[in-house]
Amino acid sequence: MGNRMKAPLILLLCLEMMAFVVLSLASSSVPNNAYPSAFGDDSGSGSCAPREGVLVPPRREVYDEGRIFDISHKYREDMPTWGSSEGLGRFLWLPASMKNGSLANNSEMKMPTHTGTHVDAPGHVFDHYFDAGFDVDSLDLADLNGPALLVDVPRDKNITADVMKDLNIPRGVRRVLFRTLNTDRRLMWKKEFDTSYVGFMKDGAKWLVENTDIRLVGTDYLSVAAYDDLIPSHHVFLESREIILVEGLKLDDIKLGIYSVHCLPLRLLGAEGSPIRCILIK
């Protein structure tokens, strides 16, 4: 090959190598660039004005012409986590990227098991249950799926025994979702953890256990129990191992009434909590 042919070829190879390095640096140094559609809309509406020739994934909260409601929160970096003022932070990585030459995109994630919409198992607050293996994989799916009642809690108070009496939940109801001031204040949309959230006081939990047939208790912030009665209320609920706690539900703009609820935690052996996907069906 003549010298005049070698020079352009070497230049072309150098340009290709430089382009590959630039692409690699761009995809690895900016973590969220790998997920442009996932982090582009934090409003909860899922709307995004499509441009010609641009693919836009559908993101919905309501499905099947208003029959199915997603009541679990999207996981995002600025969602609240227990005790933190900084939110969840980065929880998703893309160590294997097609932009870097991998054959496929493969993500990794790391976050606390009690993040976002999640479920508590008995081992969460009882160490002997934890050691015995009462984890999220031991929870009864029959209790996590079936008819459920969505109720509104009076907006000026925690859930006490008096509040439970006034709600007048009939015997036979096994699953109740409690919408509180937390939803009105949009606490699950705020990055900083807020100790003033509404939850169950110990006497309210005790009244529920002793006077209802409820087996699934769902609430709209990171804990079913009020901050001032945190562990005592959890103890009352979980001691019998018959009640399942679902926390961090998204109950905005859903009418009160009876639905079919479907909640599925991950099968995490040995874990006392798990992210959970919950939906309501009319």
What is the Cα–Cα distance from 177 to 199, expressed in whole angstroms? 12
In a domain, 236, yes or no: yes
In a domain, 22, yes or no: yes
Task: Name the pTM for this structure.
Answer: 0.83
94 within 8 A of 106, measured Cβ to Cβ? yes
Residue listed under structure tokens 């925690």: 158
Beta bridge partners of 57: none
96 within 8 A of 105, measured Cβ to Cβ? yes
Q: Cβ of 131: how many Cβ atoms within 10 Å?
A: 9
Residue 49: its pLDDT value, please?
59
- End-to-end, the C-alpha distance of the chain in Å comes to 74
Is the same domain home to 199 and 237?
A: yes
Residue 48: its pLDDT value, please?
53
200 within 8 A of 229, measured Cβ to Cβ? yes
Residue 157: its pLDDT value, please?
87
Is the same domain home to 157 and 98?
A: no
Residue 192: its pLDDT value, please?
98
Is the same domain home to 261 and 132?
A: yes
Is the same domain home to 95 and 198?
A: no
Is the same domain home to 94 and 152?
A: no
Q: What letter represents residue 120's amino acid?
A: D
Is the same domain home to 168 and 100?
A: no
Is the same domain home to 261 and 230?
A: yes
Residue 34: its pLDDT value, please?
52
Q: What is the mean pLDDT of each run of 10 residues along the chain (282 residues)?
A: 45 41 37 49 51 87 96 98 97 96 97 98 98 98 98 94 97 98 98 98 98 98 98 98 98 97 98 98 96
Identify the CATH number of the domain in which residue 255 sits: 3.50.30.50
H or E segment to which residue 91 belongs: none
User: What residue numbers bound the domain in which 224 lies?
Assistant: 118-281
Domains in the chain: how many in total? 2
In a domain, 197, yes or no: yes
What is the Cα–Cα distance from 213 to 231, expressed in whole angstroms? 22
Is the same domain home to 138 and 272?
A: yes
Is the same domain home to 101 and 180?
A: no
Strands, DSSP E only, in 87-214?
Answer: 92-96, 106-109, 118-120, 145-152, 175-179
In a domain, 48, yes or no: no
